[in-house]
Chain A
Amino acid sequence: MFKVSVYVTPKRGVVDPQGAVVERALPGLGHTTAGNIRVGRYITLEVEGSDPEKAKADVDDMCRRLLANPIIEDYRFEITAGDASAKEGN
């Protein structure tokens, strides 16, 4: 079994209305140092099996077809199994 963390973020160059609104709100709290705010989604899941390569391929397929919309979003994920851990980006 693998534990998976998926990070979905707006593609670079794609306008991020949520990030823009958060960025405009922070100065109201006195925070004038923050910029380039992008709001995404963090998804955790568990994947059955013992083959890390298969798990990576499966998660990549899940990301591409459902968890992210590749037209407007990028994704990357981290997979950990027991003590061993492997990181995969995209």
Chain B
Amino acid sequence: MTAGRVRFGVVVFPGSNCDYDACHVLSTFPEADPYYLWHKDHDLKAADCVILPGGFSYGDYLRTGAIARFSPIMQEVAAFANAGGLVLGICNGFQILTEAHLLHGALRRNRGLRFLCMPVYLRVERTDTPFTRCLEAGQVIQVPINHFEGNWTAGAERLQEIERQNLVAFRYCDADGQVAEAANPNGATDNVAGIVNENANVLGMMPHPERVCEDILGGTSGRGIFQSLLDTVLERRGA
């Protein structure tokens, strides 16, 4: 490989609380160079990939992600994404990406109005994206969720378009990989846990892959997503 390590800019909004976790996990990959970006920055500092972490940006006031979307750095993130840059939004980061119209749909309160903090199973629906290339189609991974507003939906016409373009990256499933209503923790339409944009360079997901990247924390099933990003960037550089 020609250049140095892969630069991951982790955006810190007021109220972000998974930013340290994301940076910590990335620091366990020798090829990664993670660093923080303050939400008032106007410069992504040569990021190869931008991560919008979980948390409660701006206290979730008005709607989750609604205010963070107007943070100065989001202009840079949107321009980066629209130019093909890699952007991963986790939990609150997913909510921000939908409010910013970088991903389809919206996240409503969970069905049953309960804050959910538990491990769930996800079925991998796409392996041809920069985020999932190290995973296998139909693979079932266990990843924790930790949210109040994870009940994803989109308008009926948009839903058809999302299915037609195959934009769903992960669906909630049972341990055997069956996408069943009983395995849907929050009421998300069609069990959607994560989606990509049309060019598959932006991924949003409610579950937290950064929380299952070390054996001491109960599993490593999240590492494949970060390894996929590393492989993608390194391959592009080497090409």
Contacts and interface: CB of A to CB of B under 8 A. Distances in A.
Contacts of A66: 62, 66, 70
B155 interface: yes
Interface of A: 13-15, 17-18, 20-21, 66-67, 69, 71-72
Interface secondary structure of B, over-half rule: loop
Interface residues of B, number: 21
Contact of A72 (B111, B112, B153, B156): B153
B108 A15 contact: yes
Interface string B67-85: 0001000000000000000
Given A15-B153, A21-B113, A69 B66 contact: yes
Task: Pick the 6 closest A-B CB pairs, nearest first.
Answer: A71-B106, A17-B109, A72-B106, A21-B113, A17-B113, A17-B111
A70 to B, nearest CB: 9
A69 B106 contact: yes
Q: Which of A14, A17, A18, A66 has the most CB of B within 10 A?
A: A17
A66 B111 CA distance: 24
A69 B99 contact: yes
Contacts of B99: 69
8 contacts: A13-B156, A17-B111, A18-B109, A66-B66, A69-B66, A71-B154, A71-B158, A72-B108
Given A69-B99, A71-B155, 18 more contacts: A14-B153, A15-B151, A15-B153, A17-B108, A17-B109, A17-B110, A17-B113, A17-B187, A18-B109, A21-B113, A66-B62, A66-B66, A67-B62, A71-B98, A71-B105, A72-B106, A72-B108, A72-B153
A17 B151 contact: yes
A31 B22 CA distance: 48
Contact of A69 (B63, B109, B112, B151): B63
A14 B108 CA distance: 10
A65 to B, nearest CB: 9
B86 to A, nearest CB: 24
Interface string B164-186: 00000000000000000000000
Contacts of B108: 14-15, 17, 72
Given A21-B113, A69-B63, A69-B106, A15 B154 contact: no
Nearest to A66: B66
